[in-house]
Chain A
Amino acid sequence: MAHLSESAVKQIVEIINRYQGEQTPLMMILSDIQREYGYIPLDVQELISEKTGIPVAEIYGVVTFYSFFSLTPKGKYVIGVCLGTACYVKGSQQVIDKFAEIIGINPGQTSEDGLFTLDALRCIGACGIAPALTINGKVYPKVSVADVQKIVDEYKSLGGAN
């Protein structure tokens, strides 16, 4: 934990303390850290382990089980392409492949400039507008491969990394 700054430790401990007395606080702690800091690296997991008594390996297991949690910082714009059944049969695989090709990263990765993270999502409940994707929560309906370049350009023009 040597390289966590003092203020970071204080902030993480503050989050852990929110759930004192909870029988199973781990998911809530991890959710808050993910939401507030964008990722949960190993040294943060060590700190959680120390404060809660939950083994680091178990915490790491939870972090790597749920795709919502991330071990590395996510990009400024998180592109989530739905690969649920409806979207998939409507061609979302081709859409995510196109994003991967244009940005130059695989699903699950973040671009080197920190601008984009590409995620493959399971059904997001928007089957009526399949194929659908979300970017930082904003939903894009009925996306075709031809739309992809335009969407990427739109966010590129919005501005640089964090």
Chain B
Amino acid sequence: MAKVNIKIEGHSYQVEEGLTILEAARECGYEIPTLCAFNHGECSLASCRVCLVEVKGARGLVASCVYPVNEGMEITISSPKATAARRASVELILSNHSLNCQQCDKNGHCELLYVAQITGAREGKFQGEKTPVTIDQLTPSIVRDTSKCILCGRCVARCQAAHGTGILGFEKRGFNTIVAPADNRSFSESPCILCGQCVSVCPTGALMEKSDIDRVDEAKKAGKYLVVQTAPAVRAALGEEFGMKIGTPVTGKMVAALKRLGFDKVYDTNFAADLTIMEEATELLSRIQNGGVLPMITSCSPGWVNYAEYYYGDQLDHLSSCKSPHQMQGAIIKSYFAEQKGIDPKDIFVVSIMPCTAKKAEAARDEFKHDGITDVDAVLTTRELAKLIKRSGINFNKLPDEEFDQDLLGEYTGAGVIFGTTGGVMEAALRTAYYVLTGKEHEAVKFEAVRGMEGIKEASININGQELKVAIASGMRNAKVLLDQIREGVSPYTFIEIMGCPGGCINGGGQPFVKPQFLPNEDLDILDTYKEKRAAALYSEDERLALRQSHNNSQVQELYAKYLGKPNSHRAHELLHTTYKARVRFPQK
């Protein structure tokens, strides 16, 4: 790539041609205040007008996020004219913003508040009419509050890039413009999969998860027996909320925190991940042997299940009937665990800590309620757990490493841990399938071919001379490719893993926000690398564990021996399996 010579603040630099001023300045060690710009233009560019700078010879100030550098360009960021203009841009945005920062869940992670602070913008500078407000809190997962929206378009771009469904768009015109699902509907009346990718890029509190912290508090007050379980991806990211570098696994501290938060039992969802593998692998082998519907597709990701129900209602028999791991764990806690411990299941309150917003809606599904007993009572995101920890006066960074409770549902294997990243469920299944088909363990343990952050991966695994063709997709845009093959009857695969969010659960919509301005110790390209770093944290835990195959989980074996019988037994079906139904995308109001 050709280089050009530019000057910033009077200093000379050589930068790549084709970069925007904003990108070039960043590489030269400057950080131009900006609000809407995100991740290689994953936004409605130049909409916020905050990144204005002076360019010698240019008419007026230029928006640095779209203006490309060219030879001999002289850029001034700090001139009084530029700083005043940036401040005015922020003040104009504030003039049409709901200013209840104290009540806003985004406080502490709000990019608008941050940019207001560094530009010196004050509320109330401009006063006048405000755009009519819509607040949608009908789904259990996501709240949309247009009074906090700055129309940056990041959510619109992310939804379309990740899933191709484009649920959100700009509606109306001029001052009345809002970002909304078509017809300004609730997410609950549009084919939103509730993955929360829009939440993870929103600069303000316009899109947030619906908090369930209050419900946990109430259960505690009511004297319920509180059992908490944590999804694998949570440990790979929770530390970020406490200033740790991305990719720092914090399993021990997370457990220590949960024990101090007053949970009676702290378990790992990985136990049920191992259980899922037993059920799913058995289901797969039985479909292969009995001429069942193939390819079989995993069903752990509720975002993906939502997508399937909205867009591929005619192909639902390809989904494994297995519940997702945390639902299985909930069902086992309220049956086997309750029985063994002599506790009335009605008195047990199960909390799942998940990297996911769709899990909240999943837990509320009618299919997961039986005789007034719900598998899982409340789902908190990784971010909500961090809030809970901070609120409770726990110094997370200084906590010792502690162990999950070990009784009944305490054991887990490395196969369960890697469920949190794209390819992980597949690898866990392959480890067990290999054992079932050959009678011995796969020596290398890992299956390198199914790892990595590519949107679609495929592999052909030779087990005992038998070729097993598998594919893995994350993000619905990629899943669609595999699903259209199935619909057309040309899918070459036997088994497919699909996860809703690009990269899998480590990049779930409930994970800590990755916003470079709040992460001064991370590399400049952190938005390109954080998924790999979080996944690496999971693979490293897998490597550390002695047990790395789900079928070697002795407590899972004990559960079968004492309670379930064998995988896919009648009782296992009752407790661990579910059904799906095609759903109308835009129901008539």
Contact = CB atoms under 8 A, between A and B. Distances in A.
A116 to B, nearest CB: 23
Given A55-B160, A61-B170, A43 B586 contact: yes
Interface stretch (B26-34, B119-127, B179-187): B179-187
Interface of A: 2-3, 42-43, 45-46, 53-61, 64-65
Contact of A2 (B169, B172, B181, B584): B584
Nearest to A53: B164
B588 interface: yes
Given A45-B182, A57-B166, 14 more contacts: A42-B182, A42-B183, A43-B586, A46-B585, A46-B586, A55-B169, A57-B169, A57-B180, A57-B182, A58-B166, A58-B169, A60-B171, A65-B170, A65-B172
A57 B172 contact: no
A56 B173 contact: no
B588 A57 contact: no
A72 B577 CA distance: 45
B483 to A, nearest CB: 15
B165 interface: yes
A2 B166 CA distance: 21
Given A45-B182, A46-B585, A56 B166 contact: yes
Interface in B300-342: none
A57 B168 contact: yes
Interface string B164-202: 111111111100000011110000001000000000000
Contact of B165 (A2, A45, A55): A55
A90 to B, nearest CB: 24
Interface in B553-589: 584-586, 588
Nearest to B156: A57
A74 B169 CA distance: 25
A64 B166 contact: no
Interface residues of B, number: 21
Contacts, number: 48
B584 A60 contact: no
A53 B166 CA distance: 10
Contacts of B173: 64-65
Contact of B167 (A2, A54, A55, A61): A55
A55 B311 CA distance: 13
B538 to A, nearest CB: 33
A12 to B, nearest CB: 16
Interface in B539-554: none
Nearest to A45: B182
A64 B172 CA distance: 5
Interface of B: 156, 160, 164-173, 180-183, 190, 584-586, 588
A121 to B, nearest CB: 14
7 closest Cβ pairs, A-B complex? A55-B166, A57-B169, A60-B182, A61-B169, A56-B182, A57-B182, A61-B170
Nearest to B163: A55
Nearest to B173: A65
B180 A2 contact: no
Given A64-B172, A65-B172, A65-B173, A57 B181 contact: yes
B180 A42 contact: no
The residue in B164, B173, B183, B588 that gathers the most chain A C-beta atoms within 10 A of its C-beta is B183
B171 A61 contact: yes
25 contacts: A2-B584, A42-B182, A43-B586, A45-B182, A46-B585, A46-B586, A53-B164, A54-B166, A55-B160, A55-B164, A55-B166, A55-B169, A56-B166, A56-B169, A56-B190, A56-B586, A57-B156, A57-B180, A58-B166, A58-B169, A59-B182, A60-B183, A61-B169, A61-B171, A65-B172
A57 B183 CA distance: 8
A54 B164 CA distance: 9
A131 to B, nearest CB: 23
A54 B160 CA distance: 10
A83 B167 CA distance: 35
B10 to A, nearest CB: 44
A129 B166 CA distance: 46
Contacts of A53: 164
A106 B540 CA distance: 65
A56 B169 CA distance: 8
A65 B178 CA distance: 11
B2 to A, nearest CB: 30
The residue in B166, B172, B190 that gathers the most chain A C-beta atoms within 10 A of its C-beta is B166
Contacts of B166: 54-58
The residue in B165, B172, B182, B584 that gathers the most chain A C-beta atoms within 10 A of its C-beta is B182
Nearest to B183: A42
Contacts of A43: 586
Given A42-B182, A42-B183, A45-B182, A60 B169 contact: yes
A55 B164 CA distance: 8
A2 B182 contact: no
Contacts of A57: 156, 166-169, 171, 180-182
A45 B169 CA distance: 14
B281 to A, nearest CB: 36
A73 to B, nearest CB: 16
B190 to A, nearest CB: 8
Contacts of A61: 169-171
A59 B170 CA distance: 10
B411 to A, nearest CB: 45
Contacts of B170: 61, 65
A57 B181 CA distance: 6
Given A42-B182, A59-B182, A3 B588 contact: yes
A64 B167 CA distance: 16
Contacts of B172: 64-65
B171 A64 contact: yes
Contacts of B169: 55-58, 60-61
The residue in A42, A46, A53, A55 that gathers the most chain B C-beta atoms within 10 A of its C-beta is A55
Nearest to A66: B173
A58 B183 CA distance: 11
Nearest to A1: B586
A61 B179 CA distance: 9
B107 to A, nearest CB: 29
B589 to A, nearest CB: 9
A46 B165 CA distance: 12
Contacts of A45: 182
